[in-house]
Structures are given as C-alpha cells and as structure tokens.
C-alpha cells in the first residue's frame, strides 16, 4: 500500500507482526528514522504498522524492509 505525492515523497504503510511493545516502537523509529532519505516514520504497537515517508530517489522500500528485517521485525507481505 503506497502512494506518490506531487513533491516526490512516497508514503507506505508496512505491517510487522513482531512489534509488541514501546521498546519495539523505539527501536524501529530509530533504525528506520536514521536512514538517509526517510523523512518520517511512525510506528504503532497497537496496529503493528509502520508508516514511512521517504524520497524514492534516495532510498527504496526494499531497503527500508531490509532494515526492519535486520532489526528483527520482518514485514508481513
């Protein structure tokens, strides 16, 4: 699920079922938020969803998913 904005920012919502608490949220926000090209990240332990906004010319959704995988939160397809 994603959409393209006129400015070129892309937004996507990812689901990672292994998100269980505030610690997971903080870990993900730090890891994904620290990636070059990611402008916004919001993670919820209630919905287990990660909302990201990023510049697709600088970072790909696949790279964001790989970071989540590395942190122990594989994205549900």
d(CA 52, CA 66): 14
Which range of residues in 12-20, 36-44, 53-61, 66-74 is near Cu ion by CB under 5 A?
A: 12-20
Q: Are strands 49-54 and 10-15 parallel, antiparallel or unpaired?
A: antiparallel
* 24 interacts with Cu ion by CB under 5 A: yes
Taking 3-state DSSP, the helix, strand and coil percentages for the chain, each rounded to the nearest 5, stand at: 30, 30, 40
Which range of residues in 6-14, 16-24, 35-43, 51-59 is near Cu ion by CB under 5 A?
A: 16-24
Question: Toward Cu ion, which CB reaches closer, 1 or 21?
Answer: 21
In the complex, minimum distance from the CB of residue 55 to Cu ion, in angstroms, rounded to a whole number:
28
d(CA 4, CA 9): 6
Q: Tell me the number of residues near Cu ion by CB under 5 A.
A: 4
The footprint of Cu ion (CB under 5 A) covers 20-21, 23-24
């Amino acid at each position: 699920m994603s959409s393209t904005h006129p400015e070129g920012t892309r937004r996507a919502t990812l689901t990672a079922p292994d998100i269980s608490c505030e610690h997971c949220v903080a870990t993900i926000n730090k890891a994904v938020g620290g990636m070059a090209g990611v402008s916004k990240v919001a993670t919820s332990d209630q919905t287990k969803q990660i909302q990201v906004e990023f510049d697709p010319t600088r970072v790909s959704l696949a790279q964001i998913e790989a970071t989540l995988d590395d942190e122990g939160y594989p994205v549900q397809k």
